[in-house]
């Protein structure tokens, strides 16, 4: 289910994506069947695109295919018109599990990608300070991950990804293991990041409220093998704060998505 692009090369185009992989038990699992969608290139406009569907439907598989972590069985993934053939610095991924290096300080975790690129130490430190301040961890720069809360560890992962300036930021249920208050704070942080960093963010969730709160666009996905059922443009909310969730426009959008999620599915061809 693609959307026409109003001139220019799309930021992301996924065409005829099929993914079948071998399970740990040695069985072939068809996770994605014929997924098509397009994300337009909108220079100087941060955008969050949410993939919404039931647990285990194949949302994460789509993200991994875009990241280059999982090769398509059929179909193609194009970023700025170039085919994805493996991982690359133009795409950064944040997982649900915390992925900090336990033996490195927060600052050195954030600097890690720049160090691999051979960026000089003074420049690495300057960039790291900028992103640590952006995610509210400047005062924890010399701490080790074991001293941080779950929300702080995810902020480290986000800063470590953002510092590499990816064209696409891929987020696989990154707040799923957090308590409600921390999750709320992280959602606000993500919205702030899109305003400052001009990122296109692909975000996976099965939480309808989170989808409405974060997204500019929501793709509603079918159960496995997944496919795109609907593309929904979320209304523009002037302010995104706690009070928004009790407003009629927010609740109307929640109901629309719930109705689409639980509607009787047409048979697959």
Task: Quickly list DSSP for 179-245.
Answer: -HHHHHHHHHHHHHHHHHH--EEEEEES-HHHHHHH-SEEEEEPSSSB-EEEEEEPPPPS--SGGGG
Alpha-carbon span 210 to 7, nearest angstrom: 31
Do the Cβ atoms of 173 and 166 come closer than 8 Å?
A: no
pLDDT in tens, the chain (269 residues): 445 445 588 999 999 999 998 888 988 989 999 999 999 988 777 789 999 998 888 899 999 999 999 999 999 999 999 999 999 989 999 987 777 899 999 999 999 999 999 999 999 999 999 989 888 899 999 999 999 988 899 889 888 998 988 889 999 988 887 788 888 888 888 888 887 777 899 999 989 999 999 999 999 999 989 999 999 999 988 888 888 989 999 999 999 999 999 886 656 55
Please name which of 199, 248, 202, 267 lies closest in space to residue 49, comparing C-alpha atoms: 202
- Count other C-beta atoms under 10 Å from residue 244's C-beta: 14
Residue 2 pLDDT: 46
Helix, strand, coil % (nearest 5) of the chain? 35, 25, 40
Query: Alpha-carbon distance 62 to 205, whole Å?
Result: 12
Q: Residue 3's pLDDT is what? A: 52
Q: In this structure, what token pair is assigned to residue 39? A: 């994300």
The one-character DSSP state at 246 is: G
Look at strands 12-22 and 228-233 and give their pairing. Answer: unpaired
Nearest one of 205, 235, 234 to 221, comparing CA atoms: 205
The most distant pair of C-alpha atoms in the chain lies apart, rounded to whole Å, by 58
Tokens 């902020």 belong to residue:
155
The vertex-105 CA angle with 125 and 127, nearest 5°, equals 20
Position 264 scores a pLDDT of 66
Indicate if the alpha-carbon torsion angle 230, 93, 5, 86 is positive or negative.
negative
Burial of 184 per CB tally in 10 Å (0-12, 13-18, 19+):
middle
Q: How many CA within 13 A on the CB side of residue 262?
A: 6
């Amino acid at each position: 289910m693609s959307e026409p692009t109003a001139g220019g090369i799309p930021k992301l185009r996924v065409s005829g994506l099929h993914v079948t992989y071998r399970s740990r038990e040695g069985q072939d699992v068809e996770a994605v069947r014929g997924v098509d969608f397009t994300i337009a290139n909108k220079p100087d406009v941060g955008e969050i695109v949410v993939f919404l569907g039931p647990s285990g439907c194949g949302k994460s598989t789509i993200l991994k295919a875009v990241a280059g972590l999982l090769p398509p069985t059929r179909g193609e993934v194009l970023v700025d018109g170039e085919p994805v053939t493996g991982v690359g610095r133009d795409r950064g991924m944040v997982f649900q599990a915390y992925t900090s290096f336990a033996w490195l300080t927060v600052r050195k975790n954030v600097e890690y990608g720049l160090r691999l690129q051979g960026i000089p130490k003074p420049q690495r430190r300057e960039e790291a300070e900028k992103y640590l301040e952006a995610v509210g961890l400047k005062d924890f720069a010399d701490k080790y991950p074991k001293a941080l809360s779950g929300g702080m560890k995810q902020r480290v992962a986000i800063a470590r990804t953002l510092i590499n300036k990816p064209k696409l930021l891929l987020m696989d249920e990154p707040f799923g293991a957090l308590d409600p208050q921390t999750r709320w704070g992280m959602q606000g942080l993500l919205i702030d990041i899109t305003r400052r960093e001009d990122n296109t963010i692909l975000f996976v969730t099965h939480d309808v409220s989170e989808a409405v709160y974060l997204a500019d666009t929501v793709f509603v996905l079918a159960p496995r093998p997944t496919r795109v059922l609907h593309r929904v443009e979320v209304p523009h909310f002037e302010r995104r704060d706690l009070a928004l969730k009790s407003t009629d426009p927010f609740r109307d959008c929640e109901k629309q998505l719930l109705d689409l999620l639980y509607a009787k599915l047409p048979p697959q061809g």
